[in-house]
Amino acid sequence: MKIKVSEFVKSSSGIEQCPPPEKAEFAFIGRSNVGKSSLINMITSRKSLAKTSSRPGKTQLINHFEIDKKWLLVDLPGYGWSKVSKQKKADWGIMIEEYLLKRENLACLFVLIDSRLAPQPIDYEFIAWLGEQEIPFVLVFTKTDKQSKTKFQSIKAKHVREIKNNWEEMPMMFESSSVDQTGREQILNFIGEIVSDFKM
């Protein structure tokens, strides 16, 4: 699938403010700094549609982008950022949980995992919760440019083992690099198929 026009729609601090739930929506989530905003820019071929930063905690609201007037990409705040107050963590948790549980047009959630890290409890606790809530998701291993293919294969094997221990079925998995565009076509084709079948 090709993208012609990507536009920022709005930033929301709660589900009530989100755009009307009329079009297929794909949201990106994962730990702070994992590369969610960068991946949105890579997919849309825009340098700074979504704001990125080397400091964790850059994205703090639910940010909607409309693609070709037909579907939506959503940049969410990251979890697991230590330098934030307990109150703020709780507020973000409520905002994200409500969004994930109530957003009717959420077609699929992309859960981003840093490809350099062995399975982390914080990610797998979150993924287990997605399973309990029956929220459809796929995994994306980000920043693959930062290490060799062989190193990544051994880390990926650990993730596969972790998932096999807990799930009957493997979720779809993508690999990505916002630096060299790895994964762009695969992710866009996956989205394209869902968009073409999507009915509210």
110 or 156, CB closer to Mg ion?
110
Question: Is 32 one of the binding residues for ligand GTP (CB under 6 A)?
Answer: yes
**Nearest distance from residue 61's CB to Mg ion, in Å?**
10
**Min separation Cβ 104 and ligand GTP, Å:** 25
Per CB under 6 A, contacts with ligand GTP among 56-85 are 56-59, 77-78
In which element (H, E) is residue 75 found?
A: strand 71-75
Q: Please report whether residue 177 would count as binding ligand GTP according to CB under 6 A.
A: yes
Residue 103 touching Mg ion (CB under 5 A): no
Q: Closer to ligand GTP at the Cβ: 181 or 196?
A: 181
Instruction: Return the structure tokens found at 103.
Output: 């957003």
Q: Binding segment for ligand GTP among 90-98, 140-148, 150-158, 164-172 (CB under 6 A)? A: 140-148
159 binds Mg ion (CB under 5 A): no
Indicate the residue type of 109. Answer: L
Interior CA angle at 115 toward 112 and 120, to 5°?
70
Which of ligand GTP, Mg ion, none has residue 145 at its interface (CB below 5 to 8 Å by kind)?
A: ligand GTP
Please, how many CA atoms are within 13 Å of residue 64, restricted to the half-sphere of its CB? Answer: 25
Nearest Cα residue to 75 out of 93, 90, 62, 88: 62
> Which residue's structure tokens are 């399975």?
119
Task: For residue 87, report the phi and psi dihedrals to the nearest 5 degrees.
Answer: -60, -45
- Binding residues among 145-164 for ligand GTP as defined by CB under 6 A: 145-146
Residues 21-60 that bind Mg ion (CB under 5 A): 36-37, 58-59
- Tokens read off for 130: 């997605």
**Residues in contact with ligand GTP, total (CB under 6 A)?**
23
Q: Decide: 70 and 195 in contact? Cβ < 8 Å.
A: yes
Query: Does 115 participate in binding ligand GTP (rule CB under 6 A)?
Result: no
Could you tell me which residues come within 8 angstroms of residue 3 by beta carbon, excluding any fewer than 6 positions away?
43, 44, 45, 67, 68, 188
Site string for ligand GTP, 116-135 (x = CB under 6 A): --------------------
